[in-house]
């Protein structure tokens, strides 16, 4: 039998954790032949909820699930981790300043990065979901000097999937036929969902949109006034309609990100926030979303895409926000 993969999940007693656990244990993330050991990390107040989820995992009798353990200590929880899903974070409470939010999260992601550095397996792959995800990933990576920086990523796949959903509905194509969509920049309202290169069943999406919406100008208007803000603000729309934040879709996107990272992206590129190598003018070292392909278990930024003035401007705006966040955590001594 194959040796189990150790998956460490933080925030395991929270909502996204609850939605993730059952899909991981079913094999949706690492495939139907890979047994999984689950290490669940919580803060003391969250331990009982994580223990309850562990009981339900037992009751689900997943054949691939070899072991579940609940921890409130990061070193123990990351011991031997091959996959680390960093979901637990400090949310912004009423009246909280940005500096306080960054400091609170620095207090979580700094020590977790250090624990990963000290205790995780050599092949560890990390995804940060907890917000502000890009900068939390930057903090964690900066505390893990012995782990290659490329192993630290942040989730923008939810934004990517949201963009696919909107496009599929608008050009009336099955979502699985859409390729070459990109989320650039920060997982925030400044993100740039880019469809300039997108295709649907091989046809140019911008051309399909122009045909459907009555010309290039109307397609442009739709892009700027409807599509981009709808994708960027979809989180708020879900809260408004559902009465609660995006949970299942966030968990699903996390599964997609890690599955593709490990198993590859046979259908071309997707989006992920990865450590910049300076591509597309994004300062080296920032954790920013790019078009990426997973090749031999490594994310590679898709090179040499042509960007028009509009795209360059939008990317620069989101990257400027990431630079600001980086400078803020630097001046707070968090990196
Ligand atoms: P939640 O509040 O239901 O769960 C968070 C859990 O993390 C809680 O059980 C809490 O006790 C735990 N936690 C807090 N600090 C911890 C620490 N130091 N170590 C271990 N566990 C810790 O929140 P939910 O809905 O599960 O969301 C989790 C995070 O994901 C939030 O920061 C949210 O903003 C973010 N998010 C990110 C998305 C993305 O696309 N990047 C999408 C949706 C949510």
Annotation-wise, does 15 bind a ligand? yes
Annotation-wise, does 191 bind a ligand? no
Write out pLDDT tens, residues 231-260. 999 999 999 999 999 999 999 999 999 999
Write out pLDDT tens, residues 120-137. 999 999 999 999 999 999
Which domain does 311 fall in, by range? Answer: 157-326
Domain count for the chain, please give it: 2
**Which of 18, 77, 89 has the most ligand 1 atoms within 8 A of CB, as the residue to mutate?**
89
Residue 23 — pLDDT band, cuts 50, 70, 90? Answer: very high
* Statement: the pTM of the whole predicted model exceeds 0.90: yes
The answer to the question of residue 49 being in a domain is yes
Size of the chain, expressed as the number of residues it contains: 335
Q: What are phi and psi of 218, to 5 degrees?
A: -65, -35
**Which of 81, 88, 186 has the most ligand 1 atoms within 8 A of CB, as the residue to mutate?**
88
Q: Does residue 211 share a domain with residue 138?
A: no
**DSSP state letters, 74-123:** HHHHTTT-SEEEE----PPPTT--HHHHHHHHHHHHHHHHHHHHHHS-TT
Write out pLDDT tens, residues 63-93. 999 999 999 999 999 999 999 999 999 998 8
Q: What are the residue numbers of the active site?
A: 187
Q: Does residue 294 share a domain with residue 166?
A: yes
Q: Does residue 163 share a domain with residue 136?
A: no
Final residue in a domain of this structure, among 154, 187, 220: 154
- DSSP for residue 304: -
Q: Does residue 198 share a domain with residue 117?
A: no
Q: For residue 6, what pLDDT is reported?
A: 98
Q: Does residue 180 share a domain with residue 66?
A: no
CA of 43 to the centre of ligand 1 (A): 11
Ligand 1, CB cutoff 6 Å, lining residues: 10-11, 13-17, 41-43, 45-46, 87-89, 91, 108, 129-131, 133, 155, 158, 187, 245-247, 250
Final residue in a domain of this structure, among 154, 173, 208: 154
Maximum distance among all Cα pairs of the chain, rounded to whole angstroms:
59
Final residue in a domain of this structure, among 134, 154, 174: 154
- What is d(CA 242, CA 167) in angstroms, rounded to the nearest whole number? 22
Q: Does residue 187 share a domain with residue 148?
A: no
pLDDT at 267 over 90: no
Q: For residue 42, what pLDDT is reported?
A: 98
Q: Which two tokens stand for residue 225?
A: 């006034």
Annotation-wise, does 129 bind a ligand? yes
Write out pLDDT tens, residues 290-320. 999 999 999 999 999 999 999 999 999 999 9
């Amino acid at each position: 039998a194959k040796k189990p993969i150790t998956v460490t999940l933080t925030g395991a007693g929270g909502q996204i954790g609850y939605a993730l656990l059952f899909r991981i244990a079913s094999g949706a993330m690492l495939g139907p032949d890979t047994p999984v050991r689950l290490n669940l990390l919580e803060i003391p107040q969250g331990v009982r909820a994580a223990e309850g989820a562990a009981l339900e995992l037992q009751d689900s009798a997943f054949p691939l699930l070899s072991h579940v353990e609940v921890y409130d200590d990061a070193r123990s929880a990351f011991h031997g981790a091959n996959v680390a899903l960093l979901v637990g974070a400090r949310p912004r409470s009423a009246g909280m300043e940005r500096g306080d939010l960054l400091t609170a999260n620095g207090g979580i992601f700094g020590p977790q990065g250090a624990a990963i550095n000290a205790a995780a397996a050599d092949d560890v792959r990390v995804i940060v979901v907890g917000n502000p995800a890009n900068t939390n990933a930057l903090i964690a990576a900066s505390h893990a000097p012995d782990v290659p920086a490329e192993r630290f990523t942040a989730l923008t796949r939810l934004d990517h999937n949201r963009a696919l959903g909107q496009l599929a509905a608008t050009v009336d194509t099955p979502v699985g036929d859409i390729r070459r969509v990109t989320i650039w920049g920060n997982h925030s309202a400044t993100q740039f969902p880019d469809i300039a290169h997108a295709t649907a069943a091989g046809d140019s999406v911008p051309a399909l949109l122009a045909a459907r919406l009555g010309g290039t100008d109307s397609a442009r208007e739709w892009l700027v006034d409807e599509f981009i803000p709808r994708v960027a603000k979809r989180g708020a729309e879900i809260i408004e309609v559902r009465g609660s934040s995006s949970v299942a879709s966030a968990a699903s996107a996390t599964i997609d990100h890690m599955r593709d990272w490990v198993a590859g992206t046979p259908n071309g590129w997707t989006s992920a926030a990865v450590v910049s190598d300076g591509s597309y003018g994004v300062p080296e070292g920032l954790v920013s979303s790019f078009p990426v392909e997973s090749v031999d278990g490594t994310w590679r930024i898709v090179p040499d895409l042509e960007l028009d003035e509009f795209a360059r401007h939008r990317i620069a705006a989101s990257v400027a926000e990431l630079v600001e966040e980086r400078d803020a955590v630097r001046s707070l001594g968090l990196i």
